[in-house]
Amino acid sequence: MILTLEGTLAQQSVSKSILTRCTFPLDALTPGLQAATGRQTIPVQWSDLSNYRGATANAEGHDQQHEHVNDPGSHPVERRGRVLGLAWTNGRIELDLRLESDLELAGEVLLSELAHMVDFFLMSDLQRVAFWNIFHYKDSPAQLAPGAHIEDGKDFGHGHGWFDVGGYYSWAGEAFMGVLVKAYSNFPLTIAFDHSIDSTVIEGARKILSPYFGTVKGDSFHDSHVAVRRQRHWTTREQALRERAPCKTCKP
């Protein structure tokens, strides 16, 4: 498993319970993580974040670009002024100790921080542009060309950016946290982002991140089979082929 679950046995049990409800193929992050950090695992640690001020002294505290994965920057999950989780750009996750007694909120926070790991170590600019356009599917003037370069601190002509332009809740890179929660788990999403995460965004997210899917117990995978439930996900055809045969109907 790509995640190294740290902490007490009780804390590790919480993390394990959360991951049983996450359907995103996290092992797809391994090549990017190893290339960027030299490691094959992401530690999930538990810490007292009650006094953490690294990113909350100002509401726009993301001060490291997502390309700089070896910088000691962090992306926080905040709720009602509390920092509940941190995703470090060098490939490390911290969960606040207070989450140990609230599995549903802990699940939302861990999945949110895993979304940053997906952003840091898996996604391409082409995929980020696709997400930007999905977030703005009702607003044609805000659409970006497929070859656009996504960088932090850049206003893409809509008053906000991926990170660091506009208010924290308007950043597309933060809304992506909610996308992973909604598209790949059954945990509730309690953070209100400026970008709506509706069924169109969720379906678009799955096509962008994991176009190949199947049922839990099936022996084949699909890419367009409407009647098949999306219970397992693969990010590439090669990844799916390592586990299953292609469907003879939709022929992925």
Residue 153 — pLDDT band, cuts 50, 70, 90? confident
Over pLDDT 70: what percentage of the chain? Answer: 88
Q: 10: how many CB neighbours lie within 10 A of its CB?
A: 10
Boundary residue ending a domain (121, 156, 190): 121
Q: What is the mean pLDDT of residues 27-47?
A: 95
Indicate if 17 and 116 belong to the same structural domain: yes
Indicate if 216 and 117 belong to the same structural domain: no
Indicate if 7 and 112 belong to the same structural domain: yes
Answer yes or no: is 80 within a domain.
yes
For 165-182, what is each residue's pLDDT tens digit?
888 888 888 899 999 999
User: Is the backbone of residue 157 left (phi > 0), alpha (psi -120 to 50) or beta?
Assistant: left
Q: What is the mean pLDDT of residues 14-40?
A: 95
Range of the domain at 88: 3-121
Boundary residue ending a domain (67, 97, 121): 121
Answer yes or no: is 241 within a domain.
yes
Assess whether pLDDT exceeds 90 at residue 237: yes
Q: What are the CA-CA distances from residue 233 to residues 26, 129, 181, 236 (Å)?
A: 10, 21, 14, 9
Q: 119: how many CB neighbours lie within 10 A of its CB?
A: 23
In degrees rounded to 5, what are phi and psi of residue 212? -110, 135
Answer yes or no: is 139 within a domain.
no
For 202-224, what is each residue's pLDDT tens digit?
999 999 999 999 998 889 999 98
Q: Which of 30-39, 147-156, 186-195 has the highest mean pLDDT?
A: 30-39
CA-nearest of 132, 174, 138 to 157 is 132
Q: What is the mean pLDDT of residues 87-112?
A: 93
Count of domains in the chain? Answer: 2
Assess whether pLDDT exceeds 60 at residue 39: yes
DSSP letters for the chain: --EEE-S-HHHHHHHHHHHTTB-S-GGGGHHHHHHHHS-S-EEEEEE--TT--TTTSSTT---S-TT-TTS--EEEEEETTEEEEEEETTTEEEEEGGGGG-HHHHHHHHHHHHHHHHHHHT--HHHHHHHHHHHTTT-GGG---TTPPP-TT---SSS--SSSSS-GGG-HHHHHHHHHHHHHB--------SS---HHHHHHHHHHH--EEE-SS-SEEBSS-TTS---EEESSHHHHHTT-EEPTTT--
Answer yes or no: is 79 within a domain.
yes
Answer yes or no: is 78 within a domain.
yes
For 51-84, what is each residue's pLDDT tens digit?
775 443 332 222 222 222 233 455 656 555 578 8
Answer yes or no: is 150 within a domain.
no
Boundary residue ending a domain (74, 95, 121): 121
- pTM for this predicted structure: 0.85
Assess whether pLDDT exceeds 80 at residue 34: yes
Answer yes or no: is 142 within a domain.
no
Indicate if 9 and 113 belong to the same structural domain: yes
Answer yes or no: is 221 within a domain.
yes
